[in-house]
Structure 1
Amino acid sequence: MSYPPFPTLRGLARHAWLPMAVSISLVLQAGCSRKAPEADAAVPVIAMPVQATDGAVAGRFPGDVHARYEMPLSFRVSGQLLERYVDPGEQVKQGQALAKLDPADENKQLANARAALEAAEHRLVFATQQHDRDDAQFKQNLISQLQWQQTQDNYASALAGRDQAKQQYELAQNQLRYTTLMADHDGVITSRQADVGQVLAAGQQVFGFAWSGEREVYVDVPESRVDRIAIGQAATVSLPALPSHAYTARVREISPAADAQSHTYLVKLTVDHADASLQLGMTADVSLQAAHAAEGMVKIPATALFHQDEHPAVWVVNPSDSKLALRPVTVARYGERDVLLSDGLKAGERIVMQGVHTVSVGEKVTPIAPPHAEDAPQ
């Protein structure tokens, strides 16, 4: 029986490299068949044109609508509430009766004052007659000097008593008139604090009342930002309930002291050209303009600001080749959601709004709009 010859060492080496050579050849062929990546592929980024602003915004604050004049209504005399003619929310006219107290005591006081006045007038008539008689007799030396002086004194006393009784009678008339609560201006009843049958003290509030006409917006400003606000400062007022309306306003009053609990300052703004659609209690969004607005400023979202060696900068999209360039800018004011720039950008230039730390200089991009409308610059 014969056996095949045993392979030599050289033959074994030749057979071992054969599979390796085949594998290397397949890898090279697969690599050559793949397409090389494009070096200039555009990367999508959120980029939009910047907007110019006509002035710096000192801040945005929530507020609510009030009447220019709001006050409590109360009786000027005490008594038991007999009738109430209006309810909260009703529009009233000047001179309209709103409520009434029991006038029994005031009627008696008026009758007493009338009787006192009639008696004083009778005494004055008698004193006047006596004065005229004694005057004629004194001129004829028929009475003494002392008697004439006594007559003059009685007449002066009767005249003063009549005047005093007349004043008391008019005061009693006023007291009776004060038992009816009247509207002193056109307006609306905002609240009620008394019910029929309740005994009220003079000056105790019965209704809350707001005048018709002028409207104001009240905002609470933190103590760290109140120094940016001044009397007469302009503002823009928008209301969620009236999306199609926008009003201009000016600061009328700044509280001299902070609220003890909230530590905020109450700022009152008078609304220009307020119309009937501006209802009391509506929620408002107030944008206060800086006292000294500068021209040529642009506003960008805070997310668009990049820092290069601690210096502010933005990524600008070159309109000719859509490549990015990092440009230094000068910040005039940092806001809650936006940044006001005084130099470095012009209105209309397109910048990267979000993802500023994921791009690089010279990178080619495709600008796209923010996925949410509220993220777009306002």
Structure 2
Amino acid sequence: MKSAILAVVLAMPPQAILAEDVPTTVAHPRPVISEIVTADPARARRFPGVIEGENVATLGFLTGGRLASVPVEAGDQVMQGDTLATLDQVTLQQDLASARAALETVQAKATLAAQQFARAETLRARGVASDAMLDNARANRDAIAAKVKNARASLTRAEDAAQYSTLTAPTEGIVLSVLAEPGATVSAGSAVIKLAAPTGREAVIDVPEAFAALLPPDAVFSLRRDKNDTAATTARLSVIEPVAETSLGTRRLRLALDNPPKDYRIGSLVEASYATVSAPLMTLPRVAIAIAEGPNGPGVWRIEGADRRAHFIAVTLGNTIGDRVVIRDGIAVGDEIVTRGAHALTENQNVGDRLE
């Protein structure tokens, strides 16, 4: 019986035994990190802002003096020619009288100096006076003549100050702010009143620098007074101010209003949101961009199919914003793009199941 069992074992094919002892080689999926492409989330953000006048003028006196009165306040609507502020007339009249007296005094001295020079010139012709005496008389005459010119200029300034002691509105407008209080001493040209034209209005908002860099020149925004405001007002980007607020990392945008409602007064608070446009704005991390050999140029690895295979897709790149790049063409919202491990993939390579 033992010899029969041994014969059976020896008769078994050798490959059957090897199949149990030698492991089979299996190709494992390539682990990567991926991202689902979405439209830029900044479009859904809302930014607080305020309505301002498009045409704003800062007004001041043509001369200096002590501010006597400011009969207007912020928010007042004024007509052309209305008085906005006045300077102290008593002080101005005193300055004018002092300037006239100073001119009369120096003119009298100038007359005396001219007479003394004429006398010295006569004496020098007779040989009585020396050249030094004549030179001194001439210098004194010329010096006092210069003082006469200076006094006359001071009188002209005092007369202008008395004439321009009232600040009036150059046109119809709305007072935005009063920049000086009665009793303060103001110099010529210093800001006293800020006035805005009643017609031209714009919305001013602050947005992150990265968001501002993505905006097209004709960006459209929707404005609402509050969350319950059902009727939105359209506004278009007019200016992105060149100076950034470094401490906050924001840029100031000015939006021109299209036919704003009457309740959109200067100083009103609004909420602005980036209006939806036909083409979504898509961005990917810079590390997701791979450079293919040949004419394809830059591209990304897109995961496709139920078996999750990686395929190289050529893309058109836009601006670089921080660590992300705008993708203008080549992919669509909803695509799954490899963001880590993209430089080690090959065409049609399996990347395994997606883990959230």
Instruction: Give the structure-1-normalised TM-score.
Output: 0.48
**Any idea what SS the aligned residue of 1:156 has?**
helix
Map of 1:280 onto structure 2: 266
Report the Cα distance in structure 2 between the residues aligned to 1:256 and 1:61, rounded to whole angstroms: 19
Residue type matched to 1:235 in 2?
A
Of 52, 66, 77, which aligns to 1:90?
Answer: 77
Report the Cα distance in structure 2 between the residues aligned to 1:108 and 1:251, rounded to whole angstroms: 49
**Any idea what SS the aligned residue of 1:234 has?**
coil
Deviations 1:219-251 (A, max 9, x none): 111355354369xx3332444479696454332
C-alpha RMSD over aligned residues: 5.2
Map of 2:239 onto structure 1: 251
What is the deviation of 1:159?
1.0
Residue type matched to 2:135 in 1?
Q
Alignment check: 8 A CA contact 1:98 1:182 kept: yes
Of 135, 150, 175, which aligns to 1:164?
Answer: 150
1:124-139 paired onto structure 2 within 5 Å: 124-131=110-117
Map of 2:33 onto structure 1: none
**Any idea what SS the aligned residue of 2:241 has?**
strand
Map of 1:210 onto structure 2: 196
Of 267, 270, 283, which aligns to 2:252?
Answer: 267
Cα 1:174–1:257, aligned 2, differ >3 Å: closer, same or farther?
same
What is the deviation of 1:99?
1.9
Q: Which structure has the greater CA radius of gyration?
A: 1
The reply to whether residue 111 of structure 1 matches residue 97 of structure 2 is yes
Report the Cα distance in structure 2 between the residues aligned to 1:148 and 1:194, rounded to whole angstroms: 55
Report the Cα distance in structure 2 between the residues aligned to 1:246 and 1:266, rounded to whole angstroms: 20
**Any idea what SS the aligned residue of 1:257 has?**
coil
What is the deviation of 1:127?
3.2
Unaligned runs of 5+ in 1: 1-55, 291-296, 301-308, 314-327, 334-339, 346-350, 352-378
1:269-308 paired onto structure 2 within 5 Å: 269=254, 271=256, 279-282=265-268, 283=270, 285=272, 287=274, 298-299=279-280
Deviations 1:249-274 (A, max 9, x none): 3324143224x5xx352413363999
Alignment check: 8 A CA contact 1:61 1:287 kept: yes
Residue type matched to 1:267 in 2?
R
Of 73, 77, 81, which aligns to 2:68?
Answer: 81
What is the deviation of 1:217?
3.1
What is the deviation of 1:68?
4.3
Alignment check: 8 A CA contact 1:138 1:144 kept: yes
Report the Cα distance in structure 1 between the residues aligned to 2:259 and 2:141, rounded to whole angstroms: 62
Deviations 1:141-188 (A, max 9, x none): 675312221221121111111122123323434554565334466642
Unaligned runs of 5+ in 2: 1-39, 282-300, 306-312, 319-326, 334-356
Of 161, 167, 173, which aligns to 1:181?
Answer: 167
What is the deviation of 1:67?
2.8
Report the Cα distance in structure 2 between the residues aligned to 1:68 and 1:312, rounded to whole angstroms: 52
**Any idea what SS the aligned residue of 2:186 has?**
coil
Cα 1:332–1:149, aligned 2, differ >3 Å: closer, same or farther?
closer
Alignment check: 8 A CA contact 1:58 1:288 kept: no
Residue type matched to 2:253 in 1?
K
**Any idea what SS the aligned residue of 1:225 has?**
helix
Cα 1:237–1:226, aligned 2, differ >3 Å: closer, same or farther?
closer
The reply to whether residue 152 of structure 1 matches residue 146 of structure 2 is no
Alignment check: 8 A CA contact 1:250 1:270 kept: yes
**Any idea what SS the aligned residue of 2:110 has?**
helix
**Any idea what SS the aligned residue of 1:148 has?**
helix
Alignment check: 8 A CA contact 2:175 2:194 kept: yes
Residue type matched to 1:271 in 2?
A
Residue type matched to 2:166 in 1?
T
Instruction: Give the structure-2-normalised TM-score.
Output: 0.50
